[in-house]
């Protein structure tokens, strides 16, 4: 939140709608889907086996999709599938069948970048909603109108769009607008980066992105005068010119102690600006991160859920709770900023220092059961913890307390010196009531 | 049978248009940074009519690049610009943003539309989709390989344009990344000077031999490939496939270099068209390019013979 002060609220638009925006969360697998929804997501987006941009993710089979949709239904939530590659010839066969299978599995919408997948979905599976992916980098209302006329009920805007621009788009076009509000960002226009293709032969627009934008680079200036270098032959034949070339062809624009150049951006975080997003009319608040942990998804969703609900309940008296920001920071992998919503990112919005990358907290255990009479909770181990350690319990809606682990027992009542085994069920005494699906975290 | 492939060259000034047409270009691509991206120079709206006359006098086509991703605040002036291009009699407009497509269809429907969404133009069906919206040409992604291009050709209902020479854009951000970096170092850049002329480049630790040009303009930050595509040796494969337009990228090259390259490709195309069966690449053509090639930039086949994974 280093940049928070910089963004004195510039947007002062008038509220013209009080419809609750959708909170849309990433779900990298079935378990994450359940956490995202239980912790407050109105909808989740997942990847299937094909046509998605996370080829390394633990993507859903149709069977898992069905199970996910069933689970979501109990909460009144929806499941979307990202089919947002830019297709090559070889990807074309089978799109129609794949989209039909998604529809049959109960998927509510697909998130699509390639116009041919948009067109195929509209034609072959009209019941399946199509949302235009951020990969299309749509940043003006005329383009949004074009996609509305193509039959799309929703556009995910390019991350380069400001709040003011979003408001103008909403004024011109009656369409749902989805915007990323939290998570990692491409620093390029999405879809307009082939660094991975060039550095590693991995196609970024088909899910192969190796995040070369976060690598370190040295920045130089070419000191060679125009034309002096034009002929190698000439240069090699002239010892003076040759020497001259070697000295000036690589002038560094950095000192030894300087950080390297990088395109890597800080992560987006709009928790301090929920009223602005709602007031300009963003219909769906999207959290990035299908590759992120359960702890990350649950924590972030939980916080935004509370903020949105609080503002919608009583906009006039809404205040940002400091604990929301604290919670977000417990899950954050990188420093945070507000992207393009208020102004174009500058030197404070990039990460030049070496990245720490790991969130400061770990998911230690999941509450499976609680006995109010004895104050004992059954915890499924998710990371090593032991007596004497301080842990935090939290659950949907913002329930939260800290305590020290006193003693740990296994299911047969044997006392343990630590909870060592993944998914092992152990019992501990908790200071306050907990519920099934509450989470226990510990500091790393 | 009437196959007349086009040699297309971006030009940054009226003088360059003249020089490149004389060197053998059949068509020039012009425009200005306000609406088009990564052009070798700005030819503004009030010069376009003159550029068109110059081109047409040579029997050449004049296309204008309006391939920027536009924000709301430019939609109004876009309309005036498109009208002006219509009055100037340009032969085609390259677009990436659907907003441009709509403006051209409404305000200057006589102008042909060439779809150019750079790295996202990767299959024939999507090209045909834009064809159904009014485009007559698709500019293919430079990240396609030879098989993908030749296999697309029979399925295309629009012309294909393929870049055969020069550098390619590999990253485009709206952010000012060089400015930000200099500011971070405590050495802010006053008044810009981070543009094309500055000769800035990046080197990545594992690839010390490769220099990636980087520059800023009003459209943000552009990073370019470290090698120059040169498909001259295998141009006949693309010619045999029936590709309609071959583009030589002139960005960040001197007019002298560009003329040499245009001449070489001109000879190759003419020789092929004269007698496809007996065609053979003449070593002298590629040698002429090698002589003027920056020794620090490899002449490569780009992605033509690469297999990508994902």
User: Per-residue pLDDT tens for A405-437?
Assistant: 999 999 999 999 999 999 999 999 999 999 999
Q: Is the pLDDT of residue A3 over 50?
A: no
Confidence of residue A11 (pLDDT cuts 50, 70, 90): very low
pLDDT reported for residue A237: 60
3-state secondary structure of A337: strand
B-contacting residues in A 75-134 (Cβ below 8 Å):
86-92, 113-116, 119
- Interchain proximity A192–B223, CB inside 8 Å: no
For the stretch A184-195, pLDDT in tens is 999 999 999 999
The whole-number pLDDT of residue A18 equals 60
Interchain proximity B200–A139, CB inside 8 Å: no
Cβ distance A381 to A422 under 8 Å? Answer: yes
Q: Are strands B112-115 and B92-95 parallel, antiparallel or unpaired?
A: parallel
Residue A6, pLDDT score:
39
**d(Cα B293, Cα B289) in Å, to the nearest integer?**
6
pLDDT at A235 over 90: no
Where does residue A160 fall: left (phi above 0), alpha (psi -120 to 50 degrees), or beta otherwise? alpha
| Predicted local distance difference test score (pLDDT) of residue A242 | 57
Domains of chain A by start residue, with CATH:
22-192+264-349 (3.20.20.70), 220-252 (no CATH), 361-443 (2.40.30.10)
User: Any chain B CB within 8 A of the CB of A206?
Assistant: yes
A-B Cβ pairs (cutoff 8 Å, strict): 232
Q: Residue A270's closest CA among A258, A279, A262?
A: A279
pLDDT at A1 (0 to 100): 39
In chain B, positions 255-294, which contact chain A (CB-CB < 8 Å)?
A: 256-257, 291-294
In this predicted structure, what is the pLDDT of residue A212?
95
Query: Is the model's pLDDT at A17 over the cut of 60?
Result: no
Locate CATH 3.20.20.70 in chain B: 6-167+226-300
In the three-class reduction of DSSP (H, G, I as helix; E, B as strand; rest coil), residue A82 is classed as: strand
Residue A58's pLDDT is what?
A: 75
Residue among B10, B19, B136 nearest B62 (CA): B10
Low-confidence ranges of chain B (pLDDT < 50): none
A218 close contact with B: CB closer than 8 A:
yes
d(CA A262, CA B175) in angstroms, rounded, equals 12
Q: Is B201 on the interface with A (CB under 8 A)?
A: yes
Contact A131, A112 (CB under 8 A): yes
Query: H helices of A43-140, where?
Result: 62-74, 89-92, 95-104, 115-124
Residues of A within 8 A of B228 (CB-CB) are none
- pLDDT surpassing 60 at residue A234: no
pLDDT of A268 over the 90 cut: yes
Q: What is the DSSP letter of A260?
A: P
Average pLDDT over residues A376-404: 97
Residue B111 has what DSSP assignment? S
Residue A319: per-residue pLDDT = 97
Q: Tell me what the pLDDT averaged over chain A comes to.
A: 91
Greatest pairwise CA separation for chain B in angstroms: 63
Among A2, A53, A192, pick the best mutation site for testing chain B contact (most B Cβ within 10 A): A192
Predicted pLDDT at A358: 73
Average pLDDT of the segment spanning A313-332: 95
The answer on pLDDT for A15 being more than 80 is no
Residue A288 has pLDDT above 60, yes or no: yes
Q: Is the pLDDT of residue A239 over 80?
A: no
pLDDT at position A2 over 70: no
pLDDT of residue A7: 40
**Minimal Cβ distance to B102: which of A146, A224, A261:** A146
For residue A318, pLDDT over 70 is answered with yes
Fold classified for B6-167+226-300: TIM Barrel (3.20.20)
Instruction: Select the residue of B69, B71, B119 nearest A194 (Cβ to Cβ).
Output: B119
């Amino acid at each position: 939140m280093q940049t928070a002060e910089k963004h004195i609220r510039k947007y002062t638009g008038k509220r013209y709608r009080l419809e609750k925006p959708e909170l849309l969360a990433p779900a990298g697998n079935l378990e994450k889907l359940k956490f995202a929804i239980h912790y407050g997501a109105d909808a989740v987006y997942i990847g299937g086996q094909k046509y998605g941009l996370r080829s390394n993710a633990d993507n859903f089979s149709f069977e898992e999709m069905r199970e996910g949709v069933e689970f979501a239904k109990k909460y009144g939530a929806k499941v979307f599938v990202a089919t947002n590659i830019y297709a090559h010839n070889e990807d074309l066969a089978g799109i129609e069948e794949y989209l039909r299978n998604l529809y049959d599995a109960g998927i509510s919408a697909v998130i699509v970048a390639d116009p041919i997948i948009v067109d195929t979905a509209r034609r072959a599976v009209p019941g399946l909603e199509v949302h235009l992916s951020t990969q299309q980098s749509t940043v003006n209302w005329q383009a949004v109108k074009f996609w509305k006329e193509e039959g799309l009920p929703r556009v995910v805007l390019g991350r380069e769009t400001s709040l003011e621009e979003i408001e103008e788009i909403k004024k011109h076009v009656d369409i749902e607008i989805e915007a990323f509000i939290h998570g990692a960002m491409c620093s390029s226009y999405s879809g307009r980066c082939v660094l991975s293709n060039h550095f590693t032969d991995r196609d970024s627009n088909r899910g192969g992105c190796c995040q070369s934008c976060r690598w370190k680079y040295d920045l130089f200036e070419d000191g060679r005068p125009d034309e002096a270098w034009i002929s190698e032959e000439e240069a090699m034949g002239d010892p003076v010119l040759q020497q001259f070339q070697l000295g000036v062809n690589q002038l560094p624009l950095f000192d030894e102690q300087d950080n390297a150049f990088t395109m890597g951006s800080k992560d987006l975080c709009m928790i301090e600006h929920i009223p602005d997003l709602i007031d300009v009319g963003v219909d769906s608040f999207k959290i990035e991160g299908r590759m992120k942990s359960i702890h990350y998804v649950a924590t972030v969703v939980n916080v935004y859920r509370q903020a949105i609900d609080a503002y919608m309940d009583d906009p006039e008296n809404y205040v940002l709770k400091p604990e929301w920001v604290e919670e977000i920071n417990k899950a954050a992998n990188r420093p945070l900023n507000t992207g393009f919503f208020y102004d174009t990112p500058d030197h404070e919005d990039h990460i030049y220092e070496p990245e720490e990358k790991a969130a400061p907290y770990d998911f230690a255990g999941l509450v499976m059961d609680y006995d109010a009479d004895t104050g004992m909770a059954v915890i499924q181990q998710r990371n090593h913890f032991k007596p004497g350690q301080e842990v935090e319990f939290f659950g949907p809606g913002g329930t939260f307390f800290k305590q020290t682990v006193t003693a740990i027992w296994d299911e047969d009542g044997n006392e343990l010196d630590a909870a060592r085994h993944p998914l092992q069920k152990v019992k501990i005494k908790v200071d306050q009531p907990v519920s099934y699906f509450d989470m226990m975290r510990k500091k790393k | 049978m009437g196959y007349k492939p086009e040699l297309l060259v971006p030009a940054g000034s009226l003088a360059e248009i003249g020089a490149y047409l004389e060197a053998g270009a059949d068509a020039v691509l012009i425009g200005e940074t306000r609406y088009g991206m990564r052009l070798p120079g700005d030819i503004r709206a009030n010069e376009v009519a003159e550029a068109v006359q110059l081109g047409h006098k040579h029997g050449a086509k004049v296309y204008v690049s309006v391939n920027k991703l536009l924000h709301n605040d430019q939609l109004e002036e876009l309309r005036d610009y498109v009208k002006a291009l219509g009055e100037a009699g340009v032969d085609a407009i390259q677009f990436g943003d659907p907003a441009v497509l709509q403006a051209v269809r409404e305000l200057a429907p006589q102008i042909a539309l060439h779809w150019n969404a750079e790295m996202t133009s990767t299959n024939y069906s999507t090209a045909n989709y834009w064809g159904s919206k009014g485009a007559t040409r698709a500019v293919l992604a430079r990240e396609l390989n030879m098989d993908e291009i030749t296999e697309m050709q029979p399925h295309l209902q629009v012309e294909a344009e393929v870049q055969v020479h020069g550098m390619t854009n590999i990253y485009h951000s709206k952010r000012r990344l060089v400015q930000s970096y200099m500011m971070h170092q405590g050495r802010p850049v006053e008044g810009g000077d981070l543009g094309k002329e500055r000769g800035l480049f990046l080197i990545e630790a594992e690839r010390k031999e490769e220099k990636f040009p980087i520059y800023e303009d009003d459209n943000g930050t552009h990073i370019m490939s470290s090698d120059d595509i040169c498909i001259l040796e295998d141009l006949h494969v693309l010619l045999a496939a029936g590709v309609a337009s071959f583009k030589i990228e002139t960005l960040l090259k001197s007019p002298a270099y560009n003329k040499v390259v245009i001449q070489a490709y001109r000879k190759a195309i003419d020789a092929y068209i004269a007698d496809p069966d007996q065609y053979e690449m003449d070593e002298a053509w590629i040698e002429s390019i090698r002589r003027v090639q920056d020794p620090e930039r490899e002449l490569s086949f780009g992605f033509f013979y690469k297999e990508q994974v994902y």
